[in-house]
Structure 1
Amino acid sequence: MDVHEAYDQQYEPGDIVYVIYRNPHIQNVANIQEAAIVQNPDHEEEISLFLYETYYPVSDELAIFKTKEEALEAYETYFGDLEGANELW
């Protein structure tokens, strides 16, 4: 079992998760966004993170959290207080 398979086992299709998403156009902007875990339509044996109409492979390279509270705690650890920041939920 590789790292990605082990990570995939933490989630099931239909799970709602929260991710810290960095704006690809403005690197110093990050938000917490709700996303869904779904079956990958191109590779049905894999799951994907569905965010902004795009499928992303679930991996340890993504900041995925099972609860909003976990995402908030991580955001504040790495980016500071959310007060005044753009929350997208």
Structure 2
Amino acid sequence: MENQAYQAGDIVYVFYRNPHAQDVANIQEAAVVNNPEKDGELAVFLYETYYPITNELAMYATEEEANKAYDYYYGNN
């Protein structure tokens, strides 16, 4: 994740691993929202689930940035 200030309502692009096939990753559009479980924190809302925003989350401001990172990490040219 880049050091960037996100706000509730922003649209971001994240790497999402299929929980049924761990060797499959995709880029998914997600929304930045206020975390309903922790006041004052933000989360990413994806597939009906809230994910806390941490440095472990591969999150990009644009789909182009996400695609470039995906190609870099997964070797697609």
Letter in 1 for 2:55: D
Q: Which runs of 5+ in 2 are unaligned?
A: none
Task: Please say which structure displays the higher CA radius of gyration.
Answer: 1
State which of 17, 20, 29 in structure 2 corresponds to 1:34. Answer: 29
Structure number with higher strand proportion: 2
Corresponding pairs, count: 76
Q: Which runs of 5+ in 1 are unaligned?
A: 1-6, 83-89
Structure number with higher helix proportion: 1
Normalised by the length of structure 2, the TM-score is 0.89
State which of 20, 41, 65 in structure 2 corresponds to 1:70. Answer: 65
Which runs of structure 2 are paired with 1:10-21 in the superposition (5 Å)?
A: 10-21=5-16
- d(CA) in 1 for partners of 2:67, 2:49: 23
Superposed structure 1 runs of 4+ greater than 4 Å apart: none
Question: Percent identical across equivalent pairs?
Answer: 59
